Amino acid sequence: MLDGIDAAGLGDALVRRAPLPVDDVDLLRVHRSDHVEALVELDAAGGGRLDPDTTMGPGSWQAARLAAGAGLVAIDGLRNGDAEVAFCAVRPPGHHATPTRTMGFCLLNNVAVAAASLADAGERVAIVDIDAHHGNGTQDAFVADGRVLFVSCHQWPLYPGTGAVDEVGTGDGLGTTINVPLPTGAAGDTYRYAMDVLVVPAVERFAPDWILVSAGFDAHRADPLTDLGLSAGDYADLMGRLTGLVPTGRLIAFLEGGYDLGALADSAGAFVAAALGVRYSPEATTSDGPGRHVVDAQVVRHGLAS
């Protein structure tokens, strides 16, 4: 992925910062103490299996704490004017980790930790999740929290089996969860359409102070775990539609999934370049995919029809 970003020719435009481990105060904004304690105990034992998909090795806990802390380092850097946008190139991914459990390779929810810190500081936050898998952990963290808008475009059906059209939030968060479950083969034209008529209008209506992007590149057509049809050029378009929705210095993207190494390199390069206003497209955009009917139905459901 880092090679892909370098291939975009961004050079001196990039300001590189090392992450710092997240502390317990910030973790406990999202995760229950027993969840954190279980991870600490398993780390002390040298690692082991947490759930059917997720295993800890000897370095996993430190890596997870750095990944969860990266967003907080990015927030501080953007607030200080060090850069105009941030991309957290981190693993493990995070968006499947719920407040109470690990799931799907995720130990801690990186984007949720950053969002909770911002929300507790009085900021309004929009999270846009473009990973091929639904960000169930992020949704669970904010499903009843009106301070955070969560929008997810994902393949349906697919692991983890959540993200249906009628999952719209509860309590104070009613209406601030928007899911776009797309069929197998959905391509760039469907995603661009979803951005134009649903995602961007929803974000504009919510009027966030910050946008956080769960940038999963496993919706790429070459990914071995999914059946969507995006290309690196499509990812450039998606990021291009999100820039400008908040003031400069208020957008952070977090790496989530992406399991074909060539697709990951090309997509990350195109995505980060687009965040900086540079057009880099190692692959052509895609079209003729299904799913517009899902988008249209969600536009009506969420009151965004013009």
Catalytic residues: 96
CA atoms within 13 A on the CB side of 143: 17
196 bridge partner residues: none
Count of residues for the chain? 306
User: What tokens were used for 68?
Assistant: 């969860």
Complete DSSP assignment for 39-54: HHHHHHTT-EEEETTE
Closest by alpha carbon to 100, among 66, 56, 51? 51
Based on the number of CB atoms within 10 Å of its own CB, is 223 exposed (0-12), middle (13-18) or buried (19 or more)? buried
Alpha-carbon span 201 to 66, nearest angstrom:
34
Alpha-carbon distances of 271 from 86, 216, 265, 282, 299, rounded to whole Å: 12, 11, 10, 11, 26
SS3 253: strand
Q: Do residues 163 and 179 lie in contact, with contact meaning Cβ atoms separated by under 8 Å?
A: yes
DSSP state of 101: -
CA distance between the termini of the chain: 39
Report residue 29: phi and psi, to 5°: -70, -25
Cis peptide before 21 (omega within 30 of 0): no
